[in-house]
Chain A
C-alpha cells in the first residue's frame, strides 16, 4: 500500500549539500502499525515529510495506495494529502480561533464535503475519540491530551488510507500519552494503517513493527512487544 524504493532527499543549504535521506526502502501493508524511530538529525523528519506528501523525494519512487506521488505538482500533492493522509502532529496544530468541531471539519471543507455531512462526520469522529461533550470548545479550553484527541479526530474524519503521526506524544504527560497510544491501538485494531515517527523507545514499542532510521538509512525492521499482544 505504501511503497518506497531508493528514496533520497538532498537539501542545499548555502554551498553545502546535505543528504538527509540516502536510499530508503519502506513497505507498509494495509492495516499495519509501524513506528519509525531515530534520534534527532537522523532524517526522520524528512522521511515523515515525504511519507506525508509534504515534500517530494530528490530521487527514488514513492507510491501511496497505487498512486505515484514522487513527481506530483503542489496542487496534486495537496489533493493526495487531503484524501489519503490523516496527520497527527506533535504541536497538535489546531486553529486556535475555531471550535473543536470546526477544526475537525477543516479537511472536509477542502475536500468539498457539503456542510451538513461535514458536521455529522465531525461529530462522529469526535465521539469516537471520546470528546462528544467538548465539540464547542476551542483548543485553548482543552487539555493537551484532549487537543491531541481532537487532532486524531481530524486525522480520522476523511477516512484516509494512512494515519501519519509525527511525535504524537511529544508534548503530552504520561497519562495523556497512554490515552493517545490506546486510541491508536483501537484504530489499528479497527483496520487503520498507522505510521508513527518518534524518538522515544517506549512509545515506539507500542506499535506492531519498528524501524530504526539512522543517518538517512533505515537499518532494520523488527517486531515489537506490541505485535505479540
Chain B
C-alpha cells in the first residue's frame, strides 16, 4: 500500500471524528506550547544576563577578598574584610609578574551621602585609579576623567554618573561645580556616559574619585592601603585564562597562602557567565520539566483515543483485513493516524508558542527567545509522541483476527 493512500486514509479517519481529533490534539498542543514558552523564557533570561555581564567590561578579571573557613568553620564578618591592598595591585601591574594583564584598577567603594547647593542624594562612591576606565569599559561624556597626577596628589576631584548628575545638579552642566561627599568638598571634573543598569547595581548612579583621596578623606577603614576589589583586564580573550592563573599565583605567593585557604577569590567574566548560565539552566530545566509532564499527559491522551478508535473500528479493520490488508499495513495505518494527530498538535502548539512569546515579551519585560532548532525539535518531539502513543493501539489493531473483527456488531 502506497504512503499517499495510507496518509489519505488516516486523514479521512481523523476528519470523520473531527471534534474528538481536535480535543486529542489539544493535549499535545498545550504541552508543546508550554515547553516552548518555558524554555524560551529561560533562554531569554540567559541571554539577557550574559549580555549584562559582558557589558561590565572586556576580558575582565575580578579579585575580591574572601574569608577563610580554616579556623573551625568560622567565617569573618561580611564584606568589610580587607585582605587586598594597593601593594597587591601594584604587584599585579608589574609586567614581569603578570605579563597578560593590560590594566589594573584597585577599587574601594562605600555608600556616601552627597550634597550640592540644591539637593542631597545617596550614591555609591568609588575610589580608584585612571585604569578603572579601561577595565570597566566606561567613557566620559563631558569633562574628563581624573589623571594619575591627581591620584598621586589626592586631589578632591570627582567623576559622576549620568544619573547622579541629573539628581544632584538639576540644571546646567555639572562640570566645574562643587558638592560634598560625607561632608568633604569635591569638584566635578567629568560625567560618565550611561552604561545602563546591570544585574546587581545601577552603574549610572555612582561617584568616582581618586583612590588616594578616597583613602584619606572618605574611607572608614583604618588601613590606608586597603582596597575592596581589584579589577583587572586581560590583554585579550585568548590569554584570559593565562592571565587568571598569573593573578592567582602571584597573589597566593605574596599572601603566603595555599589555594585552599586563600583570603581572596579570583573570578573572570567567563566564570560569572558560567555561574549565571548554570542557575538559569537549572531553572529552565525545572520549568521545562513541568511543562514536559503536560506533554506526556497529552501523549497518554493520544494513546487513549487511539485505543477507543481501534475498538470502535473493529469491523472496519476486519473488512480491510478480509480485503487483503496485512497486519503490517493495519499497524502502519494507525501509527500514521497517531503521528498526524501529534504533528497537527505540535504545529498548532508551535504557532501558539510563538504567539505567546510575542505577547509575553512586552508584558513581563523579559525576552522569550524561541530558536529555530527548538521549534524543529518541538515538531519532531510531537510527531514522536504521537508515534509512541500509537504503538500499542496500532499493535492491537494489527493483531485483531479478521473473523472476530467481522463478526462483531
Contacts and interface: CB of A to CB of B under 8 A. Distances in A.
Contacts of A87: 322-323
A54 B328 CA distance: 16
Contacts of B321: 78, 81
A82 interface: yes
B326 A78 contact: yes
A141 interface: no
Contact of A110 (B315, B325, B403): B325
Contacts of A189: none
A112 B2 contact: yes
B323 A110 contact: yes
A111 interface: yes
Interface residues of B, number: 23
Contact of B326 (A75, A97, A154): A75
Contact of B320 (A49, A79, A106): A106
Contacts of A89: 406
B5 A109 contact: yes
B12 A81 contact: no
Contacts of B403: 49, 54-55
Contacts of B5: 109
A110 B406 contact: no
B266 to A, nearest CB: 70
A20 B5 CA distance: 39
B272 interface: no
Interface in A55-91: 55, 74-75, 78-79, 81-83, 87, 89
A12 to B, nearest CB: 14
Contacts of A74: 326-327
Contacts of A49: 403
B274 interface: no
B324 interface: yes
Given A49-B403, A109-B5, A78 B327 contact: yes
B316 A54 contact: no
A75 B320 CA distance: 13
B315 A82 contact: no
B228 to A, nearest CB: 78
Contact of A109 (B1, B12, B401): B1
B16 interface: yes
A74 B406 CA distance: 16
Contacts of B329: 78, 110
B348 interface: no
B12 A54 contact: no
Given A49-B403, A78-B321, A93 B315 contact: yes
Nearest to B319: A93
B324 A111 contact: yes
A49 B13 CA distance: 28
Contacts of B112: none
Nearest to B330: A78
B402 interface: yes
Given A54-B403, A55-B403, A112 B325 contact: no
B396 to A, nearest CB: 14
Interface string A95-116: 1011000000011011110000
A43 interface: no
A52 interface: yes
A93 B401 CA distance: 16
Contacts of A107: 323-324
A87 B323 CA distance: 8
Contact of A54 (B1, B315, B322): B322
A81 B324 contact: yes
Interface string B1-37: 1100100000011001000000000000000000000
Contacts of A78: 321, 324-327, 329
Contacts of B319: 93, 95
Nearest to A48: B403
B312 to A, nearest CB: 12
Contacts of A110: 1, 320, 323-326, 329
Given A95-B319, A112-B2, A79 B324 contact: yes
Contacts of B320: 106, 110
A93 B406 contact: yes
Contacts of A97: 12-13, 16
A110 B321 CA distance: 9
A106 B323 contact: yes
B18 to A, nearest CB: 12
Given A93-B406, A97-B12, A82 B1 contact: no
Interface string B281-312: 00000000000000000000000000000000
Interface string B77-99: 00000000000000000000000
Contacts of B316: 95
Contacts of B324: 78-79, 81-83, 107, 110-111
9 shortest interchain CB distances as A-B pairs: A82-B324, A110-B324, A78-B326, A107-B323, A75-B326, A93-B319, A54-B402, A54-B403, A49-B403
Given A75-B327, A78-B326, 6 more contacts: A54-B403, A55-B401, A79-B326, A81-B323, A110-B324, A112-B2
17 contacts: A49-B403, A52-B322, A55-B403, A78-B324, A81-B322, A83-B324, A93-B319, A93-B322, A93-B406, A95-B319, A97-B16, A98-B12, A109-B1, A110-B1, A110-B326, A112-B2, A154-B323
Interface of B: 1-2, 5, 12-13, 16, 315-316, 319-329, 401-403, 406
